[in-house]
Structure 1
Amino acid sequence: MKGTRGFLLAGTQSGVGKTTLSTGVMGTLKKRGLQVKAFKVGPDYIDPQFHRYITGNPSRNLDSYLLKEDTIKELFHKNLEEEDIAVVEGVMGLYDGLGTQKDEGSSAHVSKILQLPVILVIDGRGVSTSAAAMVLGYKLYDPDINLAGVIINNVSGEKHYSLLKEGIERDTGIKCLGYLRKNNNIQLKSRHLGLIPCDEVPELEEKLEDLVEMVEETVDIEGLLAVAKEIEIKKKEVKPLRAEEITLAYAYDSAFNFYYQDNLDLLKELGCRLIPFSPLKDTGLPEGIDGIYIGGGFPEVFARELEENQGIRRNLYEEAQRGLPIYGECGGFMYLTKAIKTFDGEVYQMAGVFDATAEMTNRLQRFGYCQVSIKENSSFHKEAFTTKAHEFHRGVVIAPSREYVYSVVKKKKEKIIDRWSCGIESYNCLGGFPHIHFYSNPTFINNFLEKCRIYKKEIRGNQL
């Protein structure tokens, strides 16, 4: 393969097997000696973990609600090199986005922004000629989409595939590029927030090896490469930053691993030296740090282990009292409260930075895109501003003071359909449920880092 090429794998709906298939295709391309760069449409954190595991390269999110079109192009191109193959996994169904807006937040929208051909993944269970009608509908719904191929999942065997292939190619003019047989051994299992993260999957290496073997056997990889579009890489010139370097610790282990790769990259570009630490295993915080970032994850799953690690909980509380800036997001926010009540009703002690408690419920509390307005004169932010965000959680945080930093709205066709308040501040610490992509409005992270620089100069500097 010459030059950089790419394509987008999209499904007809959630649960059709696009993550399984995307991961298998990535692994097969890597096995052929190609440098695979993976991307994920939408705000999901877990699918990119599987991409990274199978390719050995970070996977990045491309979300046309959270990010402007030019930003999506910039983040896509800046992470590609000559001879790469870019594989973009879609989100939900091809046209599913913000409400009924097919051109905001959808895989179709991202494919048009990046001018990538779409490979449609369909479910072959219990259908024959009807599969052709389904594919034709997806083709005609938006003529601006380059629907370049179809891969069929959950096929009973070669005869079934031949039947489906004949109808689809005859009636739609779209080429079938192979299939996967139904195989429970390679299915990626889920729990309350989607797929189980890859570091918790038993025998993951063996599962993925089996998956790659299946893809090699029944998916037309040469056909995929043939329809992949050549990409003219356009990189923005990045001016060297002269900001004073600060040291930022970020929680990274099985309990906390929800981070957008581009957020971490931006922190480095803004002058941060990043040091990972584990609230599960480390006895204390890294030395010489100017701030802490605790992303989302599953503290409720590891609540017992987090409680048992008293040393780091105490260390966090003491450093917060000394003025160390800390930002906690979703699961990280819950960890900074006094305690978490899990699904089974057990209560476990947490860091206690915020005068609040977290509790898991049996239903989704918030799900979807939102806009977050952050009030003026809060912990990190002197002036009020707004950023786009995403929420997806079953937890609630109960704060006696009910003094919240975030005012959040959910909109449909520019009309507010729901509003709520959340986000707590204490000392120099801020926490909330919304997941924020720093490129959506860099003001958020710039203000946090400025607080870290002030801490380094005025507080930590006096302690040296």
Structure 2
Amino acid sequence: MAASFHAFVLAGTGSGCGKTTVTLGLLSLMKKRGLRVQPCKVGPDYLDTGWHTAVCGTASRNLDSFMLPTSTLNALFCEQMRHADIAVIEGVMGLYDGYGTDPDYCSTAAMAKQLGCPVILLVDGKAVSTSIAATVMGFQHFDPSLNIAGVIVNRVNSETHYQLLKVAIERYCSVPVLGYVPRMEGVALPERHLGLVTARESVINQQPWQDFAAMLEQTLDIDALLALSASDNLPVGEWPALPAADAGAGLTLAIADDEAFNFYYPDNITLLARTGLNIVRFSPLHDTCLPDCQMIWLGGGYPELHAAALARNVTMLEQLRAAHQRGVAIYAECGGLMYLGSSLEDSNGDRWQMVDIIPGHSKMGKRLTRFGYCEAQATQQTLLATAGEVLRGHEFHYSDFTPETPAVMSCRKVRDGKTLQAWSGGWQVGNTFASYLHVHFAQRPEMLNHWLAAARNAL
């Protein structure tokens, strides 16, 4: 990698302040300038990263310090920067919002300090003038060790309004204001119950984002942003022990990939590919033939929105059941669990037959059933973990699964040193394991060895 690169964190004062929209504009703009752009997202979110990827054409990476040890996360980041000129890192929630009340645990601020990246703070300029300086000053003083290198003002009505805000911030906060983001039609992102509509479900019209980027080129000082984000020091990291380069040789993994199932961390797929696995993709919605394989992965997504079509694809249901019966090692996360259950009740109250490998019923609710980070300890041998091993991940779902077999993982949510919730989850039936938990394999690459061994043992 070249000695010099650029990297910055776009942080906000809170959720809904426009981070994702502005990030997408900046990604499009940097790409237009001919830079090799690496998009990233702080935290476990799949939806924002999907939009990052769709707009700039490079797979966005999640930087999650709950699931990943510091050294591992740094190593993954450095790996991506070998092929990039600039990292545009979108923060999560507000700058200091983490897991619990510790601003240095799983927050955007903590990630910026861990990676050594400057923070560009996005603030809302609507219906405010000099008071905006108090907002910026509060974020500066909350953690003086954090490098808030610049400010961008969102939702600005006019050049006159912007100049008032700029003068106030620079006078009282001594931090450069890099420009503003005016309102623009056509760049709003569609939403639904889990957040944004996935980029996979939408036909991405690049023109509005290119127009947005062209506008930002006029209202932001991109040269100043690049100067502030220049660096030649990557964070120090080290890979954990990985599976052997030929551990997956001779095996084929089929990954469900369509409108119903598309929540996957690119790092996870990269780690699997490094084992020598042959990776193919299939659609539970549209395909009638399951690929010839020894492993299957059904990721998260929105099966509830496609339940009727999934139920009508009887051939795929039958082929998945047959694969399970002959011992194919099947792993399912969240939406994949719902699909592998016996039935699924959608938000209209209609009940649909599913694969029926994991006995139980999924039912959609009107509010989040469980949300956030959690730890899961295996109580017996499972596809990914042996008894006693602990996996860190996150759950985010409106559905609830009523099982007909005992769970195989003891789960808990701990925040600020206190256990807030404890429950049982995860179900192992034969060589199939499914749970609501989304995990990052790099936290414990032994998971892959377990999965590969289960696939080989069934041959």
TM range (shorter): over 0.9
1:32-181 equivalences under 5 Å are 32-81=33-82, 84-181=85-182
The aligned counterpart of 2:285 is 280
Q: Could you tell me whether the CA contact under 8 Å between 2:333 and 2:435 is conserved in 1?
A: yes
- CA shift in 2, pair 1:113/1:327, >3 Å: same
Q: Could you tell me whether the CA contact under 8 Å between 1:6 and 1:231 is conserved in 2?
A: no
The aligned counterpart of 1:298 is 302
- CA shift in 2, pair 1:304/1:207, >3 Å: farther
Task: Report Cα offsets for 1:182-228 as digits up to 9, x if no partner.
Answer: 23421112111111111333553233223222222212211110100
- CA shift in 2, pair 1:83/1:363, >3 Å: closer
SS in 1 for 2:424: strand
Q: Could you tell me whether the CA contact under 8 Å between 1:389 and 1:437 is conserved in 2?
A: yes
**C-alpha displacement of 1:453:** 2.0
CA distance in 1, matches of 2:108, 2:443: 18
The aligned counterpart of 1:356 is 360
**C-alpha displacement of 1:243:** 2.3
- CA shift in 2, pair 1:207/1:345, >3 Å: farther
1:311 matched to 2:312? The reply is no
Contiguous gaps of at least 5 residues in structure 1: 460-464
The aligned counterpart of 2:441 is 438
- CA shift in 2, pair 1:118/1:446, >3 Å: same
CA distance in 2, matches of 1:380, 1:109: 30
CA distance in 2, matches of 1:450, 1:437: 19
1:333 matched to 2:360? The reply is no
Q: Could you tell me whether the CA contact under 8 Å between 1:40 and 1:89 is conserved in 2?
A: yes
CA distance in 1, matches of 2:209, 2:324: 42
Q: Could you tell me whether the CA contact under 8 Å between 2:41 and 2:49 is conserved in 1?
A: yes
Match of 2:267 among 251, 262, 276: 262
- CA shift in 2, pair 1:381/1:91, >3 Å: closer
SS in 2 for 1:271: coil
TM-score, normalised to structure 2, is 0.95
Amino acid at match of 2:210: E
Amino acid at match of 1:386: V
Q: Could you tell me whether the CA contact under 8 Å between 2:157 and 2:183 is conserved in 1?
A: yes
The aligned counterpart of 1:409 is 412
- CA shift in 2, pair 1:83/1:48, >3 Å: closer
Amino acid at match of 1:258: F
SS in 1 for 2:11: strand
Task: Report Cα offsets for 1:323-368 as digits up to 9, x if no partner.
Answer: 1110000011111112211111111221111111111000101111
Amino acid at match of 1:253: D
- CA shift in 2, pair 1:170/1:391, >3 Å: same
- CA shift in 2, pair 1:365/1:429, >3 Å: same
CA distance in 2, matches of 1:437, 1:82: 22
Amino acid at match of 1:144: S
Q: Could you tell me whether the CA contact under 8 Å between 1:379 and 1:426 is conserved in 2?
A: no
SS in 2 for 1:300: helix
The aligned counterpart of 1:462 is none
SS in 1 for 2:305: coil
The aligned counterpart of 1:451 is 454
Q: Could you tell me whether the CA contact under 8 Å between 2:72 and 2:237 is conserved in 1?
A: no
**C-alpha displacement of 1:154:** 1.1
Q: Could you tell me whether the CA contact under 8 Å between 2:71 and 2:238 is conserved in 1?
A: no
Seq. identity, %: 41
CA distance in 1, matches of 2:33, 2:112: 25
Deviates more, 1:158-167 or 1:444-453: 444-453
Task: Report Cα offsets for 1:252-282 as digits up to 9, x if no partner.
Answer: 1111111111111111123322111111111
CA distance in 2, matches of 1:144, 1:394: 39
Q: Could you tell me whether the CA contact under 8 Å between 1:116 and 1:229 is conserved in 2?
A: no
Amino acid at match of 1:300: E
1:238-249 equivalences under 5 Å are 241-245=245-249, 246-249=251-254
**C-alpha displacement of 1:58:** 1.0
Task: Report Cα offsets for 1:8-45 as digits up to 9, x if no partner.
Answer: 11111000000100111011000011000111100000
CA distance in 2, matches of 1:242, 1:319: 24
- CA shift in 2, pair 1:57/1:379, >3 Å: closer
CA distance in 2, matches of 1:244, 1:272: 4
The aligned counterpart of 1:208 is 209
Deviates more, 1:184-193 or 1:358-367: 184-193
CA distance in 2, matches of 1:50, 1:337: 29
Deviates more, 1:11-20 or 1:216-225: 216-225
Aligned residues: 454
Q: RMSD of the TM alignment (CA)?
A: 1.8
CA distance in 2, matches of 1:416, 1:134: 33
SS in 2 for 1:357: strand
Amino acid at match of 1:372: A
CA distance in 1, matches of 2:181, 2:386: 54
Q: Could you tell me whether the CA contact under 8 Å between 2:29 and 2:210 is conserved in 1?
A: no
Match of 2:431 among 424, 428, 432: 428
CA distance in 1, matches of 2:382, 2:63: 30
1:346 matched to 2:347? The reply is no
The aligned counterpart of 1:189 is 190
Task: Report Cα offsets for 1:264-303 as digits up to 9, x if no partner.
Answer: 111112332211111111111112x111011101111111
CA distance in 1, matches of 2:93, 2:70: 20
CA distance in 2, matches of 1:66, 1:302: 30
